[in-house]
Structure 1
Amino acid sequence: MLRPHPLRALFACLVLLLSLPVYANWQQHHWDVMGTRASVSLWSEDDATDLFQRLETEMERLNQLLSPWVDDSELARLNRLGHKAPQTISPEFYQLLERSLYFYQLTDGAFDITFASAGHLYDYRQGKAPDETALADATRHIGADRIALLPDHRVHFRSPGTRIDLGGIAKGYAIDRGIALLKEAGIAHAWLSLGGDSYVLGDHRGRPWEVGIQHPRNREKVAMRLPIADLAMSTSGDYQRYFIRDGRRIHHILSPQTGKSVDGLASVTVLAGNSLDADALSTSVFVLGVEKGLALINQLANTSAIIIDRRGNVVYSNDLTAPE
């Protein structure tokens, strides 16, 4: 059996196994935002309609701030103009860039928001990838050391081809903001999910929430089930956005060194105290691979990882043990 985790429970993401009895005070809501599905289930003796609207409004605000696909977002504007002259951005966006550069240093470059310099050349819906010449040119502009954070919340890109994408951290941050809103409203028991990122607040009124890690090769199956409470979790997988070309899986988790999809792993789930960290670390471990990824996780307090490689082998960080 899995040993109790320091954060009181184990978790992974992608599939929530609710199978809950019907309670009058359990309320659920679902909506689409940030290119994925958001879901919340919470316990409240009051009608939660207004609270659900506040969650929707906050996440849409973040989408308008951080999406590279919204033309007038701060991120899109920085991508267009950041190489021409320093751009003044909001304190919130600036702090997220600071946190991104922290993870860039912590992971020796595995977490790199400038992967978008090559990433924008891929179209996963259309099954399109850049040719070798275009990819080689784009990767010359990858490297978060090309981002200069200046006083007064100004940012400058040192390379004209550099672009950023906060896809490895934005959804985790949105979850954290959502949980803050729930706490402010007096909610003590809730589950909030956005794509592969989730946070479980409290327990399920006396018993843990039952959550499963999606099987990376069969959307109808669960790789394992875990009871959790008061925990953030993020899963990065090669099955979330991908296409197959010449027998090779082309997915959205790119190597900052090559601009190509990372080989070797199928799924990485990270458990941490907040969703922003879990989000960034699940991406980082996927890029680093099993050995270097677990070495990173094992040195971090109150952080765990469950890795599934492409052969279906499961590996755990040192604080966890495999089911017997």
Structure 2
Amino acid sequence: MQPVPRGLRAVPGQRRGGRPPLTAGPLFAEALDTAFRAAEATAGAVDPTVGASVSALGYDRTFASVRPEDVRPAVVLRPAGLRGVRWDPATRRLRLAAGVALDLGATAKALCADRAARRAAEACGRGVLVGLGGDLSAAGEPPEGGWQIEVADVHSAPSSPDRPVVSIRAGGLATSGTAARSWRRGGRVLHHIVDPATGDVPPPVWRTVSVAAADCVEANTEATAAVVLGSAAPERLRRRGLPARLVRVDGSVLTLGGWPPDRPGRRENSRGDDQEP
């Protein structure tokens, strides 16, 4: 029997080859709804059922404990997709098919940032910017010139005057990429973003993708989808009219949807023309 995750309560029912049905608490139900909407909005490019696939590739513990190098080959496990999930938002009842494990990494942290920003702005009556591991959400009245944000491949890297700086006044900005969490298995470089269509890491097209959107959930969903979609990502972002900065694996940069061209150390706003160096 699998342990009941925090925030869930077991309810009577037969296993039928999967886990017992569970009833989610309100907060976890919101996180599930958000993840399932992201899957639908991206036509499955962002899918919360990749948990077992990420684990099979080697990310099966806290990242600090993941062995950076292993001669054993990685195991590629294609996820079941949403057909492996039964979710009733009215009753908050969840059932997972056998072998299905959820990974809400593409949406849950961004959802926390959005919730925290709204609550903090309401509590203090001022504008706030919340950052959670590279996921940023702004709420309330911004400072003059907007919130100034330095863009980097790794959010925890020390500040540098050589990096581009953009500003946002509201909504969210998120960066997804492969630079911060990667490891090697059987001579292959792997990372935490999985293509749900294959269960493997996507072909290496983008090193990082930064997207600005109406909220952090949408921003991080679209940034993650872009890494998965690879060369098809720019067209999707153009159709959606979202400002984005995409860094190729060779370090060259593509900006879309009004994201300003890179000018290190300058304070830029989020409007401008598409630029492809």
Structure 2 residue aligned with 1:171: 109
Structure 2 residue aligned with 1:271: 212
Q: CA deviation at 1:110?
A: 0.7
Q: 1:77 to 1:292 in 2, by over 3 A?
A: farther
Find 1:161's aligned residue among 99, 118, 124.
Answer: 99
Contact 2:70 2:185 survives alignment (8 Å): no
5+ residue gaps, structure 2:
264-277
Report matched runs for 1:248-263 at 5 Å.
Answer: 248-262=188-202, 263=204
Q: 1:112 to 1:130 in 2, by over 3 A?
A: farther
Do structure 1's residue 238 and structure 2's residue 171 form an aligned pair?
Answer: no
Structure 2 residue aligned with 1:9: none
Q: Normalising by structure 1, what TM-score?
A: 0.66
Q: 1:86 to 1:184 in 2, by over 3 A?
A: same
Do structure 1's residue 73 and structure 2's residue 42 form an aligned pair?
Answer: no
Greater shift after overlay, 240-249 or 185-194? 240-249
Q: Matches of 1:179 and 1:163 in 2, distance apart?
A: 29
Structure 1 residue aligned with 2:34: 99
Q: CA deviation at 1:167?
A: 0.9
What are the superposed Cα offsets for residues 21-61 of structure 1, whole Å, 9 maximum, x if unpaired? Answer: xxxxxxxxxxxxxxxxxxxxxxxxxxxxxxxxxxxxxxxxx
Greater shift after overlay, 266-275 or 207-216? 207-216
Q: Matches of 1:98 and 1:71 in 2, distance apart?
A: 19
Contact 1:297 1:317 survives alignment (8 Å): yes
Structure 1 residue aligned with 2:124: 186
Contact 1:107 1:296 survives alignment (8 Å): no
5+ residue gaps, structure 1:
1-69
Q: CA deviation at 1:288?
A: 1.0
Report matched runs for 1:38-77 at 5 Å.
Answer: 72-74=5-7
Find 1:210's aligned residue among 140, 148, 166.
Answer: 148
Report matched runs for 1:116-135 at 5 Å.
Answer: 116-121=51-56, 122-123=58-59, 124=63, 125-127=66-68, 135=75
Q: 1:156 to 1:131 in 2, by over 3 A?
A: farther
Letter in 2 for 1:310: V
Q: Matches of 1:250 and 1:264 in 2, distance apart?
A: 14
Q: CA deviation at 1:145?
A: 2.5
Structure 2 residue aligned with 1:300: 240
Q: Matches of 1:76 and 1:311 in 2, distance apart?
A: 48
Q: CA deviation at 1:305?
A: 1.5
Q: 1:130 to 1:111 in 2, by over 3 A?
A: farther
Structure 2 residue aligned with 1:284: 225
Q: Normalising by structure 2, what TM-score?
A: 0.76
Aligned-residue CA RMSD in angstroms?
A: 3.1
Report matched runs for 1:213-232 at 5 Å.
Answer: 213-215=151-153, 219-220=157-158, 221=160, 223-232=163-172
Query: SS at the partner of 2:75?
Result: helix
Contact 2:245 2:256 survives alignment (8 Å): yes
Contact 2:8 2:23 survives alignment (8 Å): no
Q: 1:300 to 1:217 in 2, by over 3 A?
A: closer
Letter in 1 for 2:251: G
Q: 1:182 to 1:300 in 2, by over 3 A?
A: same
Q: 1:223 to 1:101 in 2, by over 3 A?
A: same
Higher relative contact order (CA 8 A, sep 6+): 1
Identity across aligned pairs (percent)? 22
Q: CA deviation at 1:112?
A: 0.5
What are the superposed Cα offsets for residues 168-209 of structure 1, whole Å, 9 maximum, x if unpaired? Answer: 1111111111112112213323221110101234333x3333
Q: Matches of 1:163 and 1:245 in 2, distance apart?
A: 22
Query: SS at the partner of 2:164?
Result: strand
Query: SS at the partner of 1:261?
Result: coil
Q: 1:249 to 1:217 in 2, by over 3 A?
A: farther
Query: SS at the partner of 1:311?
Result: coil
What are the superposed Cα offsets for residues 95-131 of structure 1, whole Å, 9 maximum, x if unpaired? Answer: 3323322221221211011111211232353236796
Q: Matches of 1:174 and 1:163 in 2, distance apart?
A: 21
Query: SS at the partner of 1:269?
Result: strand
